[in-house]
Structures are given as C-alpha cells and as structure tokens.
C-alpha cells in the first residue's frame, strides 16, 4: 500500500509572544493593538526577513517562525529584543509590550505552509521559560552558536516541560546581557531580495512606517482624478459633480429580514450604485456616504440638502426561500416628487435581470441620453450561478466591516464563489481585496507575495470582464503599493474611464498623483472623491491635506484634517499633518500646541520618514520645513 511521503527538514524554530497581553488589552485594547501592529510592521517582520526567516503563523500576540540556521535565529531574536527595549524607554511602563522568545533546532514536519513536531513544541515551551525581554534557547541551539556569536548564555539546567517526555536543557540570555551585546553582522542572504518587488516593498516599510501609528499610512488605499497634466486635471475635475445629474441611492431595507440577511439588501444597493456609476451623465454618491442613513427614514428633501443631490433612489427587498420582492422609487429632491416607482416579484434566478431593469428605468426617468455602449457597460455580467452572486455579496459585506476574522471569512466565501463559477469576475476582485487587506494590515505571513497575489487576481478578473472597473481599480492600488506609479496611473485612468463615479479608482489616483509630484492633480482627485464621499476616511483626508500644504493652501488642509479628526482623533498621520498645516497657514501658536500633542501621543514619530514617498526632493524638503516650523 502506497502512502504519501511526509516532508521533513531540519530547521531552527523561534516562538515569541507578549508578556501580560491580556492585562494590556484590558487596559487599552486599541492602543495595545496599534502598538503590536507597529512593532510587527516596523521591526519584527523586517528583522525576521533580513535574517532569512519565514513567519509560519501568528496567533494574536504570538508568532512562530523558522530559520535555515540557529545563528540567524538567535541573531534575529537578540536584535528584536534590543530594539524593543529601546522603543519601550519612551513608553509608560504599564503600556510597554515586552516579548519572550524561545528558540530550538530540530526535525520538523511540513504540511502546506505550517510546521509541526517536537522541534516546534520545544521552542514553544522554551518561550514560556524565558525571562521577559530575554531569549531562551535549547542545548542544541547553544552548541551551534557558542563559538559563532559574541554572547554568553546562562545555563538554566534541565527543565521538565509540558508534553515533552525528556527534560530539556535550557540556556538564557537576559535583557541586560542583550543590551550589552555588540552589534551583530547581517546574514549574507536577505529574504527580501528573493523576489523582484521585495526590495521596493521592504524599503517602503522602513521609510514610511510611523512609529506608534499601528499601520503604515502609505499602504492605505489611495485617491483619484488624473491630472492628465495640468490642463487636463484641474479643468474637467471641478465640474464633475455639478455638470451631471447627481443621485444618491439610499441603503435598501429588508423589512422581514432576520438580522444576518441584511447583507443581500446592502449588496443590491452597492451593485445598483456601481451600475449607475458607469453612466457618464450621472454623478453617483458612493455607498460609504449613504450608509449613515441605514435604519433611518429621512425625507428626500433632507437627503438632497445633506448630500447636495437632486435625485434620491430608495427601496426595499423582501426575501423568501422561493421569491424576491423588490420595491424601488426615484424622487426629485427639489420638488419632493416621486418620478417613478416599481415593484418586482421574481425568482432568485431572475434577480440579475431585475437589477438591470432598475438601472434602465432610472436612467429613462432622468431622461438621460445613454448611448448603446454606455448602456452595455451598465449591465454587469451576471454569474452563471445565483449562489456565487450570493457568496460575493456576503463577502463584500464582511469587507465593509474589516477585521482579521471577517477578512478570513470573506476569503472563504470568495474562494467558494470562484469554485462555483470560475468565470465570475467580481469574485476574483473580492478575493484580491482580501489579499490586499491581509498584506497591508499585517495579517499575511508573506506580505509581498500576498500583494502580488492580489494583483494576479485583479488581472484574472480583467481577463474575464475588461469592463469591470473594480478590477482595474484594485490592480492600480496594488501597483501604487509596489511603487510602480506610471503603470498604476494608466490602470487607474482605465478604471475611471469605465466608471467615473467609482471612489476606489479615485482613491488610488489621488495617492499616485501625490507621490508622483502632481500636487494639483492630487487636489483635483481628492476633491472629486470628497464630492462622491463627503466623509473622507483618515488616509484620504491625509492625502488631500498633504497636497493642500504642498500647494500653500494650509487653511484648506486644516479644514479637511479637523473634520477627519472629529471622526478619528487617534490617527497619528492626521495629527502630524495638522501641525504642518497650521505652520503653513501662519498660525504658529496652534502649530506648536499641535506639535506638543503629537510628541506626547506619538513619542516615536520620526520626521525623516514622514512623507519620504514623495518623489520630488523639493516637496520632501518643503514638508520637512513645515514640520520643523511647527516644532516637530
């Protein structure tokens, strides 16, 4: 009888976790998560990569990594602990993140991307024996490094550890010995150079991560309208919202929904917004801007006044096992007059044609002259199986409430949708977004490869449906994150050409124009995004504000940043940029007050890294001067 061979190899295994993590989370959950994510993105993950290590898995506050040599593993652990100790000097003692690290060398079993065996178990047990801030190794590791590293481990004797039959001889290196140890040379091979994009990606992390931020601002979604050089950007950009019929699609309600089926109404709302957005004659408010009305009953006049739109679409969907009933109406907000309303009773298999009818009826009611080409673009290609569509809607709903667990569940749903219908482009776009979020949020063991996977999925979606604006927007955002600005610009232009009201495309465009040095283009893009989505996210507001500061429009930057801080006062980049904006606007007292707040709240902020993605040296210098003037 043939059996599948078990893959084994010898490796050095490092296990690490945070001391007193539950206590830290109980005291300050948000601050602890941000600090942990910052330590991971700025220090731990890059150090492991630089020592040829691979992160096998992460479990909340802990991680497991493997190395090809014991010397690399120990050098990595010492570097991490010394750097963490240095970072902690400026942090209140009750908020410090201190790690224990255990290292063993042994035979491991490889299954998919995971590893198993006593070699792994011993490393985990050594970690529990470790002194906080120190490193604990097995005798096998000590024998490998004793004559190769300028450090001396203390003999901790034989230790009986859980679920290991034989005692383990342990050796420890405390925090004082780590602080006194000389600098260790880099290993000859650096993992980040294994792939063409890796060097660029790692350099970005080092250059632009902001200490204490909890995430790298440059990795967050980018903005949008193409400054097709000066004359082409500023001119057409401004009238985009005013020149076209403006319309808001309120979240569809599901009156008889049982709680978790609301996702279907939300998904239908999003799809109608997307379909309408493909009409050049319509300016459609993005879904994020109308979510605040969910669960409420505003009058069309109120919506028109709040969002500055002329038309409002609202509707409901009642879902039964065998039937759908969709009700929808279109109202003129200036006259509070219903222009058109309709009800549909359909079987699940016909829901796609209903969506098409809604789009066509609304465009007709608005008397929009829609060419046959634009009308064809409005009809998104439906999946071959209604279940695939349902799975994609569920996945989108989870991504709208982004957490690590939601991201994992969304991955499962999108993968299942692809299994059911391998030709359904939106499923590939959804899975690509899952991968992109995993990479930028620090949830991926191999972030570079995960980002590349997102790009591959976007390309596959484009192959299946070249008219899918979301696929082009996703690919453009991935290219921005790899620093491929010129290619990103071309792809994002294509996304906007397909759907001139797609906020994801404009978001990516604003970022790439900013980093390329096209300040006016970035402003035009950010302002258009603001018209589609009035409550700009923190990264979107940050990009627009930086462009304002570089264009000597500090007062405009202050307005945008204050509104953003009203929604998220803890965002470090917004707080830092506000200090620069005050300085640029000539309000020195407020600039100094804001700078003092930044120093107190984000003590590890480094001005040298802030804004270093700007391609133009003159712009980097200008931003630096403003920060210096503010007192940072």
Confidence grade of residue 219 (pLDDT, cut at 50, 70, 90): very low
Give yes or no for residue 404 having a pLDDT over 70. Answer: yes
Share of the chain above pLDDT 90, in %: 27
Residues 6+ apart with CB under 8 A from 16: 44, 62, 63, 65, 77, 80, 99, 100, 101, 102, 127
Per DSSP, 42 falls in state I
pLDDT of residue 24: 82
Res. 578 pLDDT band, cuts 50 70 90: very high
The 10 Å Cβ neighbour count of residue 282 is 22
Give the number of C-alpha atoms closer than 13 A to the C-alpha of residue 163, restricted to the C-beta side: 10
Going from the C-alpha of 75 to that of each of 67, 141, 183, the distances in angstroms are 11, 12, 9
- Residues 325-383 pLDDT 10s: 888 888 888 878 887 787 777 777 777 766 666 766 665 554 343 334 444 445 556 67
Per-residue pLDDT of 600-611, as tens digits, reads 888 877 777 788
Query: Over the range 545-565, which residues count as b (16 or more CB within 10 Å of their CB) and which as e?
Result: bbbbbbeebbebbbebbeebb
Mean pLDDT of the chain: 79
What average pLDDT does this structure show over 305-311?
86
How large is the average pLDDT for residues 604-620?
82
Pick 366 or 205 by higher pLDDT: 366
CB of 214 closer than 8 Å to CB of 35 = yes
Return the closest-CA partner of residue 496 out of 286, 282, 277, 289: 277
Strongest mean pLDDT among 51-65, 325-339, 437-451: 437-451
Answer yes or no: is pLDDT of 273 > 50.
yes
Asked whether 289 and 307 are in contact (CB, 8 A), the reply is: yes
- Report which secondary-structure segment, H or E, holds 522: helix 519-532
How far is it, in rounded angstroms, from Cα 330 to Cα 340? 5
In whole angstroms, give the CA distance from residue 488 to residue 620. Answer: 22
Two tokens at 215? 């995430």
Q: How far apart are the first and last CA of the chain?
A: 71
**H-run or E-run covering 168:** strand 168-173
Predicted confidence band at 237 (pLDDT cuts at 50, 70, 90)? Answer: very low
pLDDT at 280 over 90: no
Mean pLDDT of 79-102: 89
Percent of the chain with pLDDT over 70: 81
3-state secondary structure of 308: coil
116 or 235, which is more confident: 116
> What's the confidence (pLDDT) of residue 234?
31
| CATH superfamily, domain at 537-632 | Tetratricopeptide repeat domain (1.25.40.10)
| Residue 338 confidence (pLDDT) | 82
Max Cα distance, the chain (Å): 85
Weakest-pLDDT range from 60-69, 133-142, 362-371? 362-371
pLDDT of residue 363: 55
Instruction: Give dist(CA 351, CA 190) in Å, integer.
Output: 52
Which segments within 22-151 are labelled E, that is strand? 54-59, 62-67, 99-111, 114-116, 135-138
More confident residue, 50 or 260: 50
Give the residue extent of every domain in the chain.
7-194, 234-378, 537-632
- 465-503 per-position pLDDT tens digit: 888 888 999 999 999 888 888 999 999 988 888 877 778
Give the whole-angstrom CA distance, residue 205 versus residue 201.
Answer: 6
Q: Taking the domain 7-194, which CATH number applies?
A: 3.30.70.1230
As its CATH architecture, domain 234-378 has 3-Layer(aba) Sandwich (3.40)
Residue 463 contacts residue 428 (beta carbons within 8 Å):
no
Q: Is the pLDDT assigned to residue 194 strictly greater than 80?
A: no
Q: What is the pLDDT of residue 259?
A: 53
pLDDT band for position 320 (cuts 50, 70, 90): confident
Say what the pLDDT of residue 243 is: 45
The string of DSSP letters for 72-83 reads: HHHHHHHHHHHH
Strands of the sheet containing 245-249, edge to edge, are 282-284, 245-249, 311-319, 324-332, 337-346
Which residues lie closer than 8 Å to 32 by C-beta, 6 or more apart? Answer: 21, 24, 25, 95, 97
Tokens standing for residue 74:
């120990």
**Eight-state DSSP code of residue 253:** B
The per-residue pLDDT for 154 is 87
β-pairing, 99-111 vs 7-18, is: antiparallel
What pLDDT, on the 0 to 100 scale, is given for residue 323?
79
pLDDT in tens, 146-193: 878 888 888 888 887 766 767 888 999 999 889 888 777 654 333 333
């Amino acid at each position: 009888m043939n059996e599948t061979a078990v893959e084994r190899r010898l490796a050095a295994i490092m296990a690490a976790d945070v001391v007193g993590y539950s206590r830290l989370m109980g005291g300050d959950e948000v601050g602890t998560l941000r600090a942990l994510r910052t330590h991971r993105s700025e220090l731990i993950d890059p150090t492991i990569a630089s020592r040829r290590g691979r992160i096998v898995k992460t479990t909340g506050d802990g991680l497991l990594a493997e190395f090809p040599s014991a010397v690399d593993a120990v050098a990595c652990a010492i570097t991490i602990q010394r750097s963490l100790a240095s970072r902690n000097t400026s942090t209140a003692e009750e908020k410090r993140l201190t790690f224990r690290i255990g290292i063993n060398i042994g035979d491991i079993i490889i299954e998919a991307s995971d590893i198993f065996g006593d070699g792994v178990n011993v490393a985990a047990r050594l970690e529990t024996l470790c002194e906080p801030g120190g490193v604990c190794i097995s005798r096998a590791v000590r024998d490998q490094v004793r004559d190769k590293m300028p450090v001396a481990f203390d003999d901790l004797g034989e230790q009986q550890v859980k679920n290991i039959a034989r005692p383990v001889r342990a050796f420890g290196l405390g925090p004082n010995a780590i602080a006194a140890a000389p600098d260790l040379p880099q290993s000859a091979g650096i993992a980040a150079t294994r792939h063409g994009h890796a060097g660029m990606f790692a350099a970005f992390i080092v250059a632009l991560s902001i200490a204490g931020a909890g995430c790298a601002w440059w990795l967050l979604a980018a903005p949008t309208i193409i400054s097709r050089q000066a004359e082409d950007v500023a001119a057409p950009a401004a009238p985009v919202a005013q020149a076209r019929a403006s319309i808001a699609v309120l979240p569809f309600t599901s009156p008889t929904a049982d709680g978790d089926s609301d996702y279907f109404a939300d998904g239908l709302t999003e799809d109608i917004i997307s379909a309408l957005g493909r009409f050049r004659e319509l300016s459609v408010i993005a879904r994020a801007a109308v979510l605040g009305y969910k669960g409420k009953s505003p009058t069309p006049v109120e919506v028109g006044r709040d969002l500055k739109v002329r038309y409002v679409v609202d509707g409901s969907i009642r879902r039964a096992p065998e039937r759908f009933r969709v009700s929808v109406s279109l109202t003129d907000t200036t006259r509070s007059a219903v222009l058109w309303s309709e009800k549909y009773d359909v079987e699940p298999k016909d829901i796609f044609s209903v969506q098409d009818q809604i789009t066509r009826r609304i465009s007709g009611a608005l008397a929009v002259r829609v060419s046959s080409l634009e009308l064809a673009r409005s009809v998104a290609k439906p999946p071959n199986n209604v279940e695939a569509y349902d799975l994609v809607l569920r996945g989108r709903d989870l991504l709208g409430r982004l957490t690590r667990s939601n991201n994992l569940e969304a991955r499962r749903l999108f993968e299942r949708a692809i299994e059911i219908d391998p030709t359904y482009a939106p499923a590939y776009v959804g899975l690509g977004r899952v991968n992109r979020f995993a990479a930028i949020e620090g949830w991926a063991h191999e972030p570079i490869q995960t980002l590349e996977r997102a790009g591959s999925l976007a390309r596959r979606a484009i192959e299946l449906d070249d008219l899918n604006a979301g696929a082009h927007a996703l690919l453009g955002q991935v290219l921005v994150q790899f620093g491929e600005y010129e290619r990103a610009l071309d792809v994002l232009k294509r996304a906007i050409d397909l759907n001139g009201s797609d906020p994801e495309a404009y978001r990516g465009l604003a970022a790439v124009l900013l980093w390329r040095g096209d300040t006016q283009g970035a402003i035009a893009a950010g302002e258009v995004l603001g018209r589609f989505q009035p409550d700009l996210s923190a990264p979107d507001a940050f990009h627009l504000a930086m462009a304002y500061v570089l264009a000597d429009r500090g007062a405009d930057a202050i307005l945008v940043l204050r509104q953003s801080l009203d929604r998220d006062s803890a965002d470090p980049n917004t707080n830092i940029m506000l200090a620069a904006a005050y300085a640029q606007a000539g309000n020195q007292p407020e600039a100094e007050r804001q700078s003092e707040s930044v120093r107190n709240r984000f003590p590890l902020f480094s001005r040298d890294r802030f804004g270093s993605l700007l391609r133009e040296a003159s712009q980097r210098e200008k931003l630096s001067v403003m920060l210096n003037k503010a007192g940072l």
